Amino acid sequence: MLAAAALAFSTSLGSVLAASPARAAGPWYIANGGNNGASCLSAATPCATIAGVLAKPAFVAGDTISVAQGTYADRPLVNKAVKIIGAGTGATFVGSASTSVGWAMAVQATGNVELQNLTLTGGNYQTGGALPIFGGAVRATDVRIVDSRSSAGGAVILWPAAGVSLTMTRGEISGNRATATAANLGWGGGVYVGAGTTLTLDGTNVHDNVADGNGKAYGLGGAIVNLGTTIVRNTTFRDNDAVGPGGTSIGGAVYHNGAGLTLDNDDFVSNSAGVGGALATNQPATVTNLDFDGNTALAAGAIYPGASFSLTGGLITGNTATSNFGGAVYAAATATAPTTLTLAEVEMTGNSAPTNGGAVSTTANVTTTIRASKIAGNSSQTGAGISNAGALTLRDSELTGNAASYQGGGLTNGSTVAADTPTATVIDTLVSHNSAGFLGGGLQNLTKGTLSVTGGHVDDNSAVAGGGVILGDASTATITRASVSGNTATSLGGGGIFSSGNLTLDRATLDGNRALGNSGLGGAVYSGSNTANSSVSLQVGASTLSNNQGYGGSAVLVYSNASGATNTASIDRSTITGNTSVSQYGAIEQVGRPVTITSSTITNNTAAAGGAGALVAVAPAGGGISNTVLAGNGPVACIGAVVNNGGNHAGPGNTGCGVAASTDPQLGALAANGGPTRTQLPSASSPLLDRLTCGAGTDQRGTTRPQGARCDVGAVEREQVAPTVSGPDHVDLTVASPADPAATVTTTGSPQPTLAATGVPAGLTFTDNGDGTGKLTGTPAVGTGGVHTVTVTATNEAGSATKDIEVEVAEAPKLSGPTASTYTVGQPGGPDVFEQTGGHPVASVSTSSTLPDGVDLTDNGDGTGTLSGTPAPTTGGQYAITVKGSNGTGPDATWPFALTVNEAPSIDAPATATATVGTPGSIDLEVGGFPAPTVSASGLPAGLSVQGAHVTGAPADGTGGVHHVTFTAANGVGDDATDTTTLTVNEAASVAGPAAVRFVSGRNGEFTYAADGFPVAALSVTGSLPAGVTFADNGDGTATLSGTPATVGDHTVTVRADNGIGTAATLEVHIEVAPPVTITTTTLADAAVGTAYDVPLAITGGEAPYTFSLAAGSLPAGLQLTADGRITGTPTGSPATATFTVKVTDGGSPLSSDTQELTLTVGKGATTLLGGPVVVVGNVLLGDLTAVLTGGYPGGPVAGATVTFRVTNQVLGDPVLCTAVTDANGLARCKPTLAGITLILLAPSVKMSYAGSAQWQPSATVVAKKLG
């Protein structure tokens, strides 16, 4: 059907498709009331339709079309790459039900098509009702595709062709419907994703779409059917439906049977289908972070994985299977097509199914892994949380609060199919507060099922039978390192576990379970079957059954009453304590079936009056007890034919077990003594210790037994007594002083420990006396002063113990430090540190030697002393110092030290001094300090220098003025000393400036003259200045010659400088007054477009060289002003008149300039049309009609111009043969029609004409016809 539709589309609309033109334009505009004949390049001149824009010759692939707000019914076929953007609140494109092309918009393009801010609605195309995509990559942003109809892909179809894709960001797909008209239709109520195509949704709202099988096909994918690749993120699927008679619909929101499916961070709400209310997959899929809420189906309320499926992260809540299996998930497979289901970090709550698997239901051949997930509050008849008939692993999860109306409140592992062998592995998982109306409140393992529980808890569940766990006939279960606690069987027994199969408890805890009512047997475990020839077994190893309650067998009931049935039970290395029976049948009740108990602890169990708290054996006898302790059980320990296999111990009053009552076994309370279960540890003096000859093994905790040569009685092997050791914490000794003993230590332990010591100081020894004591004796050797840690170790075969003794040895001190140092007066000196290098305890450091004022020796209290300080003035010199160390143990230590104190230099110079250039003089300085300083100066004028403590010499020419002189005295000690003198140097004046200056008449000019010397000279002028020019003394040693001369001429004057020192200075100056420069050109010749132009500007006056520039305005395009005053170039652009101002500047000093405003008119360029040959051979026109259009001078090609070709026939009015547009070379080429060629055959010539333009003048030519 889809192939037929494609063929119809191709044949009826293929002629519309066209290649994109070569030149760019746009953006383009469309509006209601527009005209496809308009330019469509502005909102004021829009086209009416998208087709009108796409047909424009100037349209280029990738152009943008802006569609004005409004509704459009033109149903465009987009056949070029384009960006279509709805303006304002958006544009709406409406399809039609009255035509075969009833889409709202269709795409058949090569490249990318972008849609923005649009609504596509009312589509009624046979496939992809609103938006069929037959070719191209479509990217839709904020686009609504709504209320459309089709037989496949109610809103959109991605036609199965290479490169077809749709990417939607935000937007909406809603209210669409795909209705089957034949087989394999009615798929994808919203979108049909064809094979090899790609759909991407991000943040899209997908709702109220319907895939309707209509009795002709399965309704697949209420929102999306995926046969290609689909990627959906951040999207909500709501109220989508897949429908079909009798539930023949799959995937209420999404059906996947393609190459790839990616779902991430999506919501599926209130979708429905026959199977897979929200999601159905028929190919492998891995999805993440999905929420499923309120979806419904006959089976698989939310998810139906028909192939390998993995979900990581998400919430599946409130989904419903209305008729069959899997309120949330139903996974089915066959032996020939096995599959896997993985759920990780998923929360499944409040889901329901009427039969199996309120949350999850799987068939045989499905391998299921559920990890780090929560399955809570789900309901069903069987397996309210999980119903498994395949291979299940449940790890690190919670299975809580689920309710089964019949069986398997949390989990049912089993199948009614004879060939199935279901397995369930539960690891480190909490199974709690689940309930079943009849069997197995927490976990149910049916016939032939295999259940393994490792770690975790099965707590607080309830059922009529098997409150925590129930095992069917011939099933197998192993519970390892797990807790089964607080569960309740309300009437038929097995408060913790009801087993009719083969049960192994390994390092497990069964605590606080209850079997209620007069039939409540087996408070912790009921092991038995009423099925003929059944085989039941129970193995309890390294486990604790405590505080359980029941009518009888409050810990364990072993009972099978059917003919041919076998039932064996063993209890090994286990603790059975604190269990309570309402009847006379105590903790363990064996009814006609043997129970073997070895190396166990059975204590503090109670039964009703006249009963036995520990064990009731009902004939026939068998099994027996060995290496077991019984204590605190009552009223008595055992009743019945109990077999004593030896090695047992019975506490006071624990009779009836074939073991004489004896002493209190001294057991501790039930506690965590190591290992995975709680135990009762014998005391160190217990009579249970070292009683039995035994082979190597472990006790209930996993502790090696025996600990010594023999084993203890009971479940727990007590470790041997490790040593202890005691003695003094601290001992004081002195080097070279004997001590006997210095210290004594004592040890306890069994066997008697040996003693040894480490860390003993030289000169001392440690001796083991062999009687549990040892002593430290001897004389500490030289160099052992200090605090020593002596570690005494007591060792026996049970272990070792240590005692640390702090031995403190006193010893005379030793000192070390620097031998000499140099300080400076007025500056901090040191620190010089002297330290104790030997002896104990810490010595005090001091000196009795004379120290310079300002310097001290400080004892730091840690065996060091610091010499530091700032020597006071006049303390310079050498000091011999002896440093002493004392710690109370003689003799004191001494250390010699030599201290040198230096003093920094000083200098005093006069505040002011005067000198004259060329005249010798002297300045005296006062200098002090030690060693004797050297003196230097900065800022001295040339000609003067420092000699010792004097300044001598004569200032050099040019040094006149005030000098700030800094004198520095340095001797290498501390900071250098400085002082300053203000030195005034007098000097005769001189004058400098231009000897020849030039003014321009009528323009201001200015020149500067300067005088040297000190003090500042006065400047004046003698001679006749030009009228309008003045000479002004600025008072700062400079003068200004300035003004605006009125007349042209030459003048000579003398500039004079005088400061009262020596003779005045003079300078003769020549003054020239020149005329200004003037532009004489006032008008310019006209120019023409494309014609070369070159006009010089004329000037008078001023002085060469002359420089021209543009002062204001601009020249016509293509023309420029040269620096030498020429306007040149070839005008381009359109004819126009330009007004501008030119400026000329001469080369004089000062510069002279003039400006002139000019006007230049550019007219149209002349054109020439050269016609190509017109050759006729017989009745055939050879080649095309051609003409070449040139413009301007020298001529150049005119491109983009229309040339009209006419036949010269006055009778017919010179009819038009054809028109053509010139190319980049000015060539126009056209081919006449057959009728046009007939006219050429009848005419003498062809006339070719160009009508001109805003830029070019018209032109024409006539080409005579040639006959070949």
DSSP string, 688-752: TTT-B---SEE-TTS-EE-SSSSBPSSS-PPPPPPPEEE--SEEEEETT--EEEEEEEEEE-SSP
Q: CA-CA distance, 36 to 45, in Å (whole number)?
A: 9
CB contact at 8 A, 572 and 600 = yes
DSSP sequence for 958-976:
T--EEEEEEEEEE-SSSSP
The structure tokens listed for 764 are 């001392």
For 909-987, which CATH superfamily applies?
A: Immunoglobulins (2.60.40.10)
Q: Given its phi and psi angles, is residue 1201 left (phi above 0), alpha (psi -120 to 50 degrees) or beta? A: beta
Angle at alpha carbon of residue 246, lines to 243 and 248, rounded to 5°: 50
Q: CA-CA distance, 429 to 440, in Å (whole number)?
A: 17
Q: How would you classify the pairing of strands 864-869 and 877-886?
A: unpaired
Task: For residues 112-121, give the mean pLDDT.
Answer: 98
Task: For residues 377-391, give the mean pLDDT.
Answer: 98
pLDDT exceeds 80 at position 512:
yes
The structure tokens listed for 231 are 């990627």
Angle at alpha carbon of residue 496, lines to 384 and 397, rounded to 5°: 45
pLDDT exceeds 50 at position 24:
no
Of 340, 339, 322, 253, the C-alpha closest to 292 is 253
Range picked from 674-678, 1008-1012, 1093-1097 for highest mean pLDDT:
674-678
What whole-number percentage of the chain has pLDDT above 70? 97
Task: For residues 808-818, give the mean pLDDT.
Answer: 91
CA count, 13 A, side-chain hemisphere, 382: 17
Task: For residues 269-285, give the mean pLDDT.
Answer: 98
Binned at pLDDT 50, 70 and 90, residue 547 comes out as very high
Cα 1025 versus chain centre, distance: 85
Q: Which CATH architecture has domain 993-1074?
A: Sandwich (2.60)
The structure tokens listed for 1139 are 């007004």
Identify the weakest region by mean pLDDT among 62-66, 524-528, 910-914. 910-914
pLDDT tens digits along 177-224: 999 999 999 999 999 999 999 999 999 999 999 999 999 999 999 999
Q: CA-CA distance, 1215 to 1205, in Å (whole number)?
A: 9
Q: Which secondary structure element, helix H or strand E, spans residue 1039, and what is its range?
A: strand 1038-1043
pLDDT at 259: 97
pLDDT exceeds 80 at position 3:
no
Task: For residues 88-111, give the mean pLDDT.
Answer: 92
pLDDT at 17: 29
β-strand partners of 726: 746
pLDDT at 14: 32
User: Which amino acid is present at 594?
Assistant: P
pLDDT at 22: 39
Neighbours of 530 (CB within 10 A): 12
Q: How would you classify the pairing of strands 934-938 and 961-970?
A: antiparallel
β-strand partners of 1012: 990
Domain 1167-1267 in CATH 2.60.120.1440? The answer is no
The structure tokens listed for 594 are 């043997």
Q: CA-CA distance, 701 to 821, in Å (whole number)?
A: 73
- What's the whole-number average pLDDT of the chain? 91
Of 633, 625, 573, the C-alpha closest to 601 is 573
Q: CA-CA distance, 516 to 7, in Å (whole number)?
A: 76
Query: Which CATH number applies to 817-903?
Result: 2.60.40.10
- Going 1083 to 1085 to 1090 to 1096, the CA torsion angle's sign is negative
Q: Given its phi and psi angles, is residue 186 left (phi above 0), alpha (psi -120 to 50 degrees) or beta? A: left
Of 799, 804, 833, 803, the C-alpha closest to 816 is 833
Q: Which CATH architecture has domain 724-810?
A: Sandwich (2.60)
pLDDT at 752: 67
The structure tokens listed for 1152 are 């002279």
Task: For residues 391-411, give the mean pLDDT.
Answer: 98
Residue with token string 């009518």: 551
β-strand partners of 376: 349, 400
pLDDT exceeds 60 at position 698:
yes
Q: How would you classify the pairing of strands 764-768 and 773-778?
A: antiparallel
Segments of 917-1033 assigned E as strands:
921-924, 926-930, 934-938, 944-947, 950-953, 961-970, 977-992, 996-1000, 1005-1014, 1018-1023, 1029-1033
Instruction: Find all residues with CB under 8 Å of 458, minimum gap 6, and list them.
Output: 431, 432, 442, 443, 468, 469, 479, 482, 483, 484, 485, 487, 496
pLDDT at 23: 42
Between 1242 and 295, whose confidence is greater?
A: 295
Between 736 and 280, whose confidence is greater?
A: 280
pLDDT tens digits along 638-667: 999 889 999 999 999 999 999 999 999 999
pLDDT tens digits along 42-69: 999 999 999 999 999 999 999 999 999 9
Task: For residues 787-802, give the mean pLDDT.
Answer: 88
The structure tokens listed for 964 are 């700030």
Q: CA-CA distance, 146 to 139, in Å (whole number)?
A: 17
pLDDT exceeds 70 at position 21:
no
3-state secondary structure of 696: coil
For 1078-1163, which CATH superfamily applies?
A: Immunoglobulins (2.60.40.10)
Binned at pLDDT 50, 70 and 90, residue 4 comes out as very low
